[in-house]
Structure 1
Amino acid sequence: MKSATKTNNYNLYIISVTLVATLGGLLFGYDTAVISGAEQSIKLYFIDNLGLSSFIHGLTVSSALMGCIIGGLVSGYFSNYIGRKKTLILAAVLFFISALGSSYPEFLFFEFGNPSISLLIVFNLYRIIGGIGVGIASAISPTYISEISPQDIRGRLVSWYQFAVIFGQLIVYFVNWGIANGQPIAWINKIGWRYMFASEAIPAALFFILLFYVPETPRYLVSKEKEEQAFHVLLKINGSKEKAKEILSEIHKSINTVQSSDKLFCFGKKVILVGILLSVFQQFVGINVALYYAPRIFESMGAGKNVSMMQTVIMGMVNVGFTIIAIQTVDKWGRKPLLMIGSVGMAIGMFGVAILAQNQIFGIGTLLFIIFYTASFMMSWGPICWVLLSEIFPNKIRGQAMAIAVAAQWAANFFISSTYPPMIEISAGLTYGFYGLMSICAAIFVWKMVPETKQKSLEELEKIWKKETKKIM
């Protein structure tokens, strides 16, 4: 009976710590989606009042993405020098500042309700600050969960990060709707959009407070020669002194085996390339086109405004359901099978949309193909990419390598999202066909280059890259 109670206690501890870390994902989803409800009001307040171009409007809407790239790049530095936990605290502070600053950019220096170029610049700076928080959280939250998790459930726990991202997007849609529902358009355009941005301060503050109650990861503690603290964390996570000592010994060997800790390629270039390509393919398969432009896609296929929004809601519900499927199967089936099955499913979905679009056939068939595509992504590349990125990089280079991979992911996101409108004007069939082709390439890449990480410790996975390095030498 004591043993069962002890097991339940440490399982509860792991789950509670993971839930706190996944708030970084929730804020990622919240921050990137909050602009959707405020976009038209921002356009009216800044762009239309100042007589600015649609190009400036596009930059304003996507300014947070610029911050995401910056945040991804700097995350490795902060992760290595102040730790995973303190870096997440920094991200929480950035989210909080961005939420309040974006809602009231006039604070201290400008007259309320009097838009100007200077005020627009300040607004965009606040959005970039939030983007930096997103970039940091998207790199460090999965890393933190991976380093704190027992190996037998690591995939499942890291997958909850992707679920939190989707859940954060879903929450903000309801929050935006709740703020705007029943209010006159004039009030929304003057005040309502500010409440939408300010609402993010609540989960940001909660994230900040709760982070003080979670531990630093044992891998980081060992890297800073704080082995006693690392042992206590491992004991809480694993519930056994013997297991904690065994893992601590493995971490110690891993940290101290490679002397060239400042060299990114000390485990070879392949591991960095695999990380970058995982990130790039996750975006090049076109998922953010399906998510960002879903209402526009459905409207272009003949659906009315209300119908297109309903179809988007249906797609969102499917996304949540299939993400849960990934969470339940990632530690049973493995990472590679899920990625390859998902890639084939995405290819079928996108090629189906491409053929229908090319032949000007719109209707329920197109909706079904898009839902099949997004469901395939959500049970594979959505969560599993984050799982693999948090696992494949050796302890010595995890912070730097994760930073590069996440920055590449946000750059690919920006490229695919910004090239969709001009591509669709040239040919809808070729555009969706391109995303289908990228899905096939993604499957081949996983088959040829990505190692299976199921049921292996982070330290065991390092041996794969050591072998690769020896082959090259």
Structure 2
Amino acid sequence: MARFTMSSKRAYNWYISLVAASCMVLYGYDASVFNALQGSDNWVAYFNDPDDYLIGTINTAYVVGAIVAGFFFGGPLADRCGRRTGMAVGAGFVIVATFMQCFAPRGNMGCFMAGRVLIGIGQGLALTAGSIYIGELAPQEIRGMIMSFWQMFYSVGSFIAYWINFGTSKHVEKLGEWDWKLVVIFQLLVPILIVVQAPFLPETPRWYVQHGKWEKARNSLTRVRDTEQEVEDEVLMIREAIEFEKEAISSNYSALWKDKSIRHRLILALILNAGQQITGQGSLNSYSTIIYKKIFTRASQTALINALNATFGIIFTANATWTVDRFGRKFLLIVGGIGMGICMIIVASVETQTPDLPNGAKTESVGISIVFLLFLFIFFYKPSWGATIWIWTSEVFSMNVRAQAVGMASQTQNVANLIVQQFFPTFLDNCGFYAFYMFAGINFLLAAFVWWFVPETKQVPLEEMDAKFGGVNHVEGGGDLMGVEDAHHADMGQALGSIKKEPHAEQREVAQ
């Protein structure tokens, strides 16, 4: 079958993947909504004019919730109860937290912050399960293309939040306090859709095989693969890999530090995910309103720029859909890092080397130049360190540790973001746009790190990823344990019966 032929089952594969990618809308919306609220005078007055330190603490509250959920609960929940359950439970937390934030009593910042913590917990659970869900069900030849929509949906979340905020900013007198409450309450839309749809999605075959449910694994794959042979081959490969992991490595999370190959991947994933947030993008997401206030004087200008930024973010992320499987993950990360570094140098130079107007703002031409350069930064970021980091992280780990490793690695983004968000407002106040020179240097270092240390993983089957990192091929190793002649191909006459055998039955037969 041609690579881009769109059969009914391939279309259904796209549908369920996009439902899972909607978890990222939660992240994008929330990362943007609090940034937007800081531009609302009504929100500031409602909570008694919070200072910079309290603003940083509110951001920290969300991040702490996400880190705790991602590191300690996201992986175990997805492994024990399934990827669909992880997404639904996470979305449920976001629904409850949205009501807490929107209807917090006047001046009660504690209730608002508690909502921020719950949203962090919800996202920590949903993001862990959602990214794994896509990676485990997507066909390997288009896995990168489908997964690129994961980052694109972050931009969709930002798009919705910022355009709603822009609309409310034009009608502040009529709306009153609802100018910010409307921005918050619209966060309910996507988590409700996830909760409603999750029970009807197929669970991943890898989760079923991990729990000994071979027939359900086959049924799940039958819904998304075009031929019966594809289904049997993939079930066999999954089973071989899991059998090998149980016998030769470890069936629990101890393999994260016991297995040299997995430990190597975890270290790389932690560095890459932390690197994503110290490129400068994390600070732009959280504090673009503050940054643009140093250039423009009207709140509606800043709201419009944020909305346009989110709109272009969707367009720029779309570049990953056709580049990530064509040029590879490594190429995009290197080009993206270099491009972002150059943009940051020019932004800092333009802002610091041009005169200020009497009101402290910049001339219109300088302001437009800076906005253009920051949009160019997004052009390099979105398909590379935005989308590709998630793709790489979701595909490199073996089944026995995938959920926990992805949860830990993805929440390293929040650990790095927590550190940067806490000091960046003060850094920006004291140093102005000279702070962007720091981001330029970081981006060049990240590009060099990828060049020297990160292997290419495009179109490598998930069960054979270990061989790319110096480990044993889990499919071939499992095939040897099970006595299978061709580890990559299931004979149709034998497969229907062999998959139903209890675990380790083949090993006992070989031993006898």
Report the more deviating stretch, 424-433 or 387-396: 424-433
Q: CA deviation at 1:31?
A: 2.5
Change (3 A) 1:128 1:317: same
- Aligned-pair identity in percent equals 25
TM-score, reference length from structure 1: 0.88
Residue in structure 2 matching 1:267, options 244, 259, 269: 259
In 2: Cα distance, 1:284 partner to 1:202 partner: 30
Secondary structure in 1 matching 2:221:
helix
The answer to whether the 8 A contact 2:159-2:307 is kept is no
Return the alpha-carbon distance in structure 2 between the equivalents of residues 284 and 344 of structure 1: 14
Write the mapping of 1:186-265 to structure 2, written as runs, cut at 5 A.
187-189=175-177, 191-259=178-246, 260-262=250-252, 263=254, 264-265=256-257
Match of 2:376 in 1: 372
Tell me by how many angstroms 1:296 deviates. 3.2
Residue 344, structure 1, aligned to residue 345, structure 2: no
Secondary structure, counterpart of 1:200 in structure 2: helix
Aligned to 1:46: 47
- Asked if 1:130 corresponds to 2:141, the answer is no
Closer, same or farther in 2 for the Cα pair 1:169/1:442, shift >3 Å? same
Contact map agreement 1:47 1:56 (CA 8 A) in 2: no
Which residue does the alignment assign to 2:136? 147
> Where does structure 2 lack aligned partners over 5 or more consecutive residues?
356-361, 474-512
Confirm or deny that 1:278 pairs with 2:272. yes
Q: 1:16 deviation in Å?
A: 1.2
2:203 aligns to what SS in structure 1? coil
How far the C-alpha of 1:43 sits from its partner, in A, is: 3.0
CA contact (8 A) 2:97 2:116 kept: yes
3-state SS of paired residue (1:152): helix
2:294 to 291, 300, 311: 300
Return the alpha-carbon distance in structure 2 between the equivalents of residues 451 and 406 of structure 1: 19
* Aligned residue type for 2:238: I
| Deviation at residue 57 of structure 1 after TM alignment | 4.1
Any residues of structure 2 matched to 1:74-473 within 5 Å, and which? Answer: 74-105=73-104, 113=106, 115=107, 119-179=108-168, 181-184=170-173, 187-189=175-177, 191-259=178-246, 260-262=250-252, 263=254, 264-268=256-260, 269-301=263-295, 305-360=299-354, 363=366, 364-428=368-432, 430-467=434-471
Which residue matches 1:110? Answer: none
Task: Give the Å deviation of 1:299.
Answer: 3.7
**TM value normalised by structure 2:** 0.82
In 1, the alpha carbon distance for the partners of 2:26 and 2:67 equals 16
Q: What 5-or-longer segments of structure 1 have no aligned partner? A: 107-112
Over 3 Å counting, the alpha-carbon distance change for 1:334 and 1:271 in structure 2 is same
Q: Which moved more, 1:86-95 or 1:175-184?
A: 175-184
Query: How far off its partner does 1:214 sit?
Result: 0.4
Change in CA separation of 1:223 and 1:97 when aligned onto 2, cut-off 3 Å: same
Structure 2: distance between partners of 1:176 and 1:429? 26
Task: Tell me the SS of whatever aligns to 1:34.
Answer: helix
Alpha-carbon distance, 1:21 to partner = 0.6
Deviations along 1:110-148, one digit per CA (max 9) or x if unpaired, are xxx5x4xxx432332122111111122222211110111
How far 1:428 moved relative to its partner? 3.7
SS in 1 for 2:202: coil
The structure with the larger Rg is: 2
Task: Call closer, same or farther: CA 1:385–1:267 in 2, change over 3 Å.
Answer: same
Distance in 1, matches of 2:53 and 2:6, equals: 57
Query: Can you list the C-alpha shifts for 1:193-219, whole angstroms capped at 9, x where unaligned?
Result: 334323222322111001111011111
CA distance in 2 between counterparts of 1:206 and 1:183 reads 29
Query: Partners of 1:444 and 1:38 in 2: how far apart?
Result: 37
Contact 1:27 1:165 in 2 (8 A): yes
Shift of 1:7: 5.9
User: Taking structure 1 as reference, are residues 313 and 7 closer, same or farther at Cα in structure 2, changes over 3 Å only?
Assistant: closer
The answer on whether the counterparts of 1:7 and 1:239 sit within 8 Å (CA) in structure 2 is: no
Classify the secondary structure of the residue corresponding to 1:453: coil
Instruction: Choose 302-311 or 224-233, whichever is displaced more.
Output: 302-311
Conserved 8 A contact 1:267-1:465: no
Deviation readout 1:402-459 (Å, 9 max, x if unpaired): 1211221111112122222222234345421111111111111111221211111111
Deviates more, 1:291-300 or 1:406-415: 291-300
The amino acid that maps onto 2:47 is: F
Partner SS, residue 258 of structure 1: helix
Q: CA deviation at 1:69?
A: 1.5
CA distance in 2, matches of 1:344, 1:391: 24
For residues 368 and 425 of structure 1, the distance between their equivalents in structure 2, rounded to whole angstroms, comes to: 22
2:61 aligns with: 63
Residue 15 of structure 1 and its aligned partner are, at CA, apart by 1.2
Change (3 A) 1:221 1:8: same
Deviations 1:321-352 (A, max 9, x none): 21111112111111111111111100110111
Are 1:286 and 1:416, in contact at CA under 8 Å, matched by a contact in 2?
A: no
RMSD: 2.6
Give, as a single letter, the amino acid of the residue that structure 2 aligns with 1:188.
G
Query: Aligned partners of 2:51, 2:300: CA distance in 1, in Å?
Result: 28
Q: Distance in 1 between matches of 2:48 and 2:173?
A: 21
Residues 271 and 393, structure 1, Cα contact 8 Å, conserved in 2: yes
Q: Secondary structure at the match of 1:216?
A: coil
